[in-house]
Each structure stands twice: as C-alpha cells, then as structure tokens.
Chains A and B, each alone.
Chain A
Amino acid sequence: QVQLQQWGAGLLKPSETLSLTCAVYGGSFSGNYWSWIRQSPAKGLEWIGEINHSGRTNYDPSLKSRVTISLDTSKNQFSLKLTSVTAADTAVYYCAVHGGYFDPWGQGTQVTISS
C-alpha cells in the first residue's frame, strides 16, 4: 500500500520560493499522476498541479507561471516549487496520488508567508 511522507520549509517571506518534497513508499511512479494540493480557509481545497512517471506535468492555469513540479525516480520522490510567494499562498500543502480521485494523501505541511 502506497504511503506518502512530505517535508519542507514552513515559514517563508514574501517573494521567496516555496519548496516541498514528497517521498513515496510502497509503490512506484508508474501508472499514476502525483499531485500537489493546497488548502486555505479562503479558497478551500485547491489543486496545484501534477506529474506522471515520464515527467509530464499539468498545472492549474492560475498558478502555472510560478509552479514547477519535478520527480526523482531514483529516490522515489517528487517535489513542488512555487516562486514569488505572497500571503495569499499561505496554506496547508498536501501531496497525493491522483488517479482521478486523490488517494492516498501525505500528512500535510503548513506553509506560512509572513514578513
């Protein structure tokens, strides 16, 4: 059974780059998309983007100019980078396996943007 464990910096200043990594245990990258989702009181659950085993990516159009999702198959990890963050990017960020629906999810990382 696939399990996800994520980590990354939780406090950033405006204009910095958010960087999170998600490790995949008990499975391989083949056959699924690997997604990042965020959750804030203002916007609820918001899909950010995804990557598949061959490195093909899809991003939410509203974030596309600032987002990069990459994978490291040798480490069974995939990562999220979001540039030029503002207070509006404050949220809990989740990684998740995406096969249409999302299952399972990582434990979540609270990211706060504050000067």
Chain B
Amino acid sequence: EIVMTQSPATLSVSPGERATLSCRASQSVTTNLAWYQQKPGQAPRLLIYGASTRGTDVPATFSGSGSGTEFTLTITSLQSEDFAVYYCQQYNNWPQTFGQGTKVEIK
C-alpha cells in the first residue's frame, strides 16, 4: 500500500497570504493525485485531480503541481473560507490511500 505523507501538519497563515502544502508518496503515483478540502462538519470536497486540474467550481486561487512522489497544493491570497483541513489522495495504485491532512489555520 502506498503511504501518503503530508506536511506540515498545521500551517498558520495570515489572511491574504499564500499557503503551500506538501504531499509525498512512498512510491511514484505519476500524476494520479487528488486534493480535497474539508471544513468542520462537512464532507471532503474535491479541489484538484490529475495533480493539477481544478475540480468543478474550484476558484483559480487553488493550484496543484508535481508528479511522481512530490506534490504541492498552493492557495494564493487566503480568504476566510479557505481555512480548513486539506487532504491528498493517490489513485495510481490499489488501494487508493489518503494523507493525514494539513490544517490551515488563521495566524
């Protein structure tokens, strides 16, 4: 099973600043990598798939990059609604696996 490791566990960012989240796979997942956003009491919401393609209605302030084992989710100019927990997930190998999440909190 592929292990997904996210860093940092918590990221403190001021509103309007940029946030950079990392996700590392224990072996190559090519670009079969998704990012999700989860707010308290809600289900995860798909943000990015294919490592860099934004999901439906996802604003352009969210961007994904990377391939192989190293991936990045960048959120430019953080808004109040962007403070949440973010998860990566690989779907290159069965079973698909999730990272443990990065919490983006207000600094």
Contacts and interface: CB of A to CB of B under 8 A. Distances in A.
Pick from B91, B95, B100, B101 the residue with the most CB of A within 10 Å: B95
B107 to A, nearest CB: 24
Pick from B43, B49, B91, B98 the residue with the most CB of A within 10 Å: B43
Given A103-B46, A105-B44, A107-B43, A47 B87 contact: no
B93 to A, nearest CB: 11
Interface residues of A, number: 19
Nearest to B96: A47
Contact of B101 (A44, A47, A100): A44
A108 to B, nearest CB: 5
Interface of B: 32, 34, 36, 42-46, 49, 55, 87, 89, 91, 94-101
Interface of A: 44-47, 58, 60-61, 94, 96, 98, 100-108
